[in-house]
Amino acid sequence: MMRFPLNSWVKVLLHAVKGTLLFCVFTLPLLVSRLFFRPFETPKDALFVCSMALCAAGMLLASLFSPQITLFRKSRLTLAVCCYVVYTILNATIFPYTDRIYWLNISGCFLLFFVVSAMSDDHFRTRLLQALGLVALLLAIYGTNQFFGVEFLNPYGSYFNSQLPFGTRIFVTLGNPNLVGGFYVLLLPIIAACWLRAFQERRRSAWLWGFIFIYSGIALLMSQTRGSWLCAAVALMLFLVFALKQSFLVILKKYARFSALFVILILLGSYAAFLKMSAATKLTTTSSWNERMVFYETTWRMIKNSPLFGHGIGTFSIYYNYIRDERDMAQKWGGVALHPRVMHAHNEHLEQLHDGGIIGYGLFLWLIVEALRLLFRRKDVVFYGLAAALIGILLDGLLMQNLRHTVIAALFWLLIGLANGGEPAIFTAAVTPARLRPFLPLAVFCAIVLLGLPCVFEYRLLQAAYYAKAARMLYNSNLPQSALQWYRKSVVAYPYDTQVLYDAADCYVRLNDQASALIVYQRILKRAPYFLDTHFRMGELYQRQGDLRQASASFQQQTAIDNMHWESYAQLAFLAYEQGHVEEADAFFNELLDIQKIRRGKFVPAQDIEKLKRILEKSGSD
């Protein structure tokens, strides 16, 4: 049989589609459960499955021109990764309220391990590291323009607008300065290793690697992420210790000028950030450290509720908004996090414990230990740089949820794959058309199922999104009756969007159809028990209907979910006064005063406070 010559890039493509097919096999239970039991919620989910099916079909075609395919490397790291992937899939499938968007985004990075670990030649690893260095340089150049107020593209994310002042925290195309810090914490030791290797071999590329290293360090400083500065410094020091076989003290003396300059820059940057924060923060006395301590302590409370198996992948924001006690945290840490919805713990290790429990976090630590063992066993400068980068990103994870973002997670799994690349291959089999022919009918059937069903879901999702957008435009134009008709169409097209139901209930309220609004709110609470201020809205409707007992119960449920919800305390105080419970009304009024004191009067209208105060003073005199 005639074979076509294969260059290195075709081999990379073959290994990529091979890893994708293997990933499809791993995620088959998850996909089946999502397709038939818990449908996809966004077009992104459906497109993800479509891409999996297309890559699997491409693998079957590309295998005709590939002499053999390597599925696994014989190492304990492969076993650790497989155990971690299987446990994560089971965790995401079994637990309720699992964030499917997070799982489908981050889990796609798992295949990088299988792809990169299959590429055992040094040529591929060298080209890959060169590509990473080029990406670091391009992002550093782009970040420099942002630092000086020049923005070529529309900024990504919701943190910034298009008018960038001089000296802004750069976010390049990642959307968040903290991600920029984590990105360069991981890449700086690798770039330093490539620089040292080129310098030792007296290559001309040493000058280029040195320029990339210095420029990337400047980009890290411009991100103004002080925690990432410290983690990068520790990672670089560890790399020098590993590569030069010398102690910390010797290296500090040898690079005393560089170390002193770096410390001065960190101190100046920290002082500038403190002044900037003090000038901008007027709502509370909260600093980033206060907020993190609030997040950490609340997360630890959640971990103790389910320590062994966790709560499920991506469920942190759901349970946090129920368990948090901001008032207690404010008294303890001198500030309070005034975020309506906290999405992450700002600590990767704590969030791993929350999501997967001790078992999931233990498997994660197992694969980390195995990866470091393989990297140190190579006794090479580049692998020492990879080990230092891995340690650096783990240290950076103590201050942020870096592996919750696709870019950092992809680099992390790529690094783990490089650690496993040189191990002996197992499950290597020759692939010929004769061997593939019996599997073609099954492959065609799987392609039809995996492509057809997500396309149907995607069409329904896009249709529902169009109806919801039209409904919001009509609602903002003061046409609630017309908006309600479009909301109904959106719910018929896709009945799983809780926000659409919440907006439809607002239409019923404006149309004075209180019974229908209550039915919709009850439907929301069955699906999402802690969704926004649904209990408060129901309490207002019960109050209009004259059912004060149900209204009081709904307001109290809202305060149990959010003990900083001042509107609920105000309504409870009014209800208690109307029912003649003056002492109870006074207690709720004191709660309201505490909230006003914590928030320094912000978000708590003074007229409500004065009205309650006059009522209570009058009742006291009577």
Q: How far apart are CA 139 and CA 468, in angstroms?
A: 37
**E strand or H helix that includes residue 522:** helix 514-527
pLDDT score for 126: 79
pTM for this predicted structure? 0.66
187-191, 444-448, 505-509: lowest mean pLDDT where?
Answer: 444-448
pLDDT score for 620: 46
**DSSP-based three-state secondary structure for 423:** coil
pLDDT score for 446: 61
- Spatial contact of 397 and 403, defined as CB atoms under 8 Å apart: yes
Q: What tokens appear for 258 in the block?
A: 């560089």
Choose the most confident range, by mean pLDDT, from 106-115, 185-194, 613-622.
185-194
The beta-strand segments (E) located in 438-579 are none
Q: What tokens appear for 485 in the block?
A: 């008709």
Only one residue has tokens 């690349």, namely 421
Q: Is the pLDDT of residue 219 over 80?
A: yes
| DSSP letters for 300-325 | HHHHHHSTTT-S-TT-HHHHHHHH--
Which residues are paired to 430 by β-bridges? 68
181-195, 304-318, 334-348: lowest mean pLDDT where?
Answer: 334-348
Planar angle of CA 112, 14, 106, nearest 5 degrees: 20
Q: What tokens appear for 477 in the block?
A: 């134009």
Q: Are strands 68-73 and 425-430 parallel, antiparallel or unpaired?
A: antiparallel
Other C-beta atoms closer than 10 Å to the C-beta of 67 total 10
Which one has a higher pLDDT value, 117 or 611? 117
Q: How far apart are CA 406 and CA 410, in angstroms?
A: 6
Q: What tokens appear for 616 in the block?
A: 């209570």
Gyration radius of the chain's alpha carbons: 28
Only one residue has tokens 């990642």, namely 174
Q: What percent of the chain clears pLDDT 90, i.e. is strictly above it?
A: 1
Q: Mean of the pLDDT values across residues 185-194? A: 89
Show Cβ contacts of residue 318 under 8 Å, excluding neighbours closer than 6 positions. 97, 528, 530
- Spatial contact of 114 and 23, defined as CB atoms under 8 Å apart: yes
How much helix, strand and coil, in percent to the nearest 5, is found in the chain? 75, 0, 25
Q: Mean of the pLDDT values across residues 593-609? A: 57
pLDDT score for 65: 47
Where helices occur in 37-109 by DSSP H, the ranges are 43-62, 76-94, 100-107
**E strand or H helix that includes residue 32:** helix 28-36
Q: Is the pLDDT of residue 135 over 70?
A: yes
Which one has a higher pLDDT value, 180 or 27? 180
Which residues are paired to 69 by β-bridges? 429
4 secondary structure, DSSP code: -
Only one residue has tokens 């479509």, namely 50
Q: Is the pLDDT of residue 32 over 80?
A: no
378-387, 400-409, 455-464: lowest mean pLDDT where?
Answer: 455-464
**E strand or H helix that includes residue 425:** strand 425-430
Q: Mean of the pLDDT values across residues 530-559? A: 82
- Spatial contact of 198 and 209, defined as CB atoms under 8 Å apart: yes
The CA-based dihedral angle spanning residues 226, 232, 233, 237, taken in that order and rounded to the nearest 10 degrees: 170
How many helices and strands in the chain, by DSSP H and E?
28, 2
pLDDT score for 366: 92
**E strand or H helix that includes residue 449:** helix 440-476
pLDDT score for 603: 46
Question: What would the pLDDT profile of 323-370 be if each residue is shown by its tens digit?
Answer: 665 556 555 655 444 455 567 778 888 888 888 888 889 999 999 999
Which has the closest alpha carbon to 258: 187, 184, 192?
A: 192
Which has the closest alpha carbon to 41: 314, 381, 239, 351?
A: 314
465 exposure class (CB count in 10 Å sphere: 0-12, 13-18, 19+): middle
Which has the closest alpha carbon to 514: 489, 475, 536, 543?
A: 543
Q: Is the pLDDT of residue 31 over 60?
A: no
The CA-based dihedral angle spanning residues 567, 572, 573, 576, taken in that order and rounded to the nearest 10 degrees: 160
- Residue ranges and CATH numbers for the domains of the chain are 90-425 (no CATH), 463-621 (1.25.40.10)
pLDDT score for 63: 45
Question: What would the pLDDT profile of 253-303 be if each residue is shown by its tens digit?
Answer: 666 666 666 666 656 655 555 555 444 444 444 556 667 777 777 788 888
Instruction: State the pLDDT confidence band at 494, using cuts at 50, 70 and 90.
Output: confident
